[in-house]
Amino acid sequence: MVVVPVRCPQCQGIDVVKYGKQANGAERCRCNHPDCPRRIFLLQYHDTGRLPAIKQRIVDLTLNDCGIRDIVRVLRVSSATVINTLKKRSQVSNK
């Protein structure tokens, strides 16, 4: 049997514990590092639009003059995900 340490996707810390399950059965984990801004995360996301890598690709494609419908078609996420991601990124950059 091999033990693989789970790392927090935000701070890369290994001080992670199990923290219950979602309604769909996905296991949640909690980062116990005191300075980590992201406390609870999933080991495996079923909704790909929530992945940080997909959100970064949405921003990158927008900066390269791709439209919302193009991004939806390429990444296979909903248009609401694309619009909400761009709104949140613009609010962060305005502060």
Listed by start position, the domains of the chain span 1-46, 48-94
CA angle 45, 94, 61 (to 5 degrees): 50
Cβ–Cβ < 8 Å for 41, 68: no
Q: What is the largest CA-CA distance in the chain?
A: 49
As a 3-state breakdown, the chain gives helix, strand, coil percent values, each rounded to 5, of 40, 15, 45
Mean pLDDT, consecutive 10-residue stretches, the chain (95 aa), reads 80 87 87 85 80 92 94 94 91 72
pTM score, whole prediction? 0.58
Give me the pLDDT at residue 95, please: 64
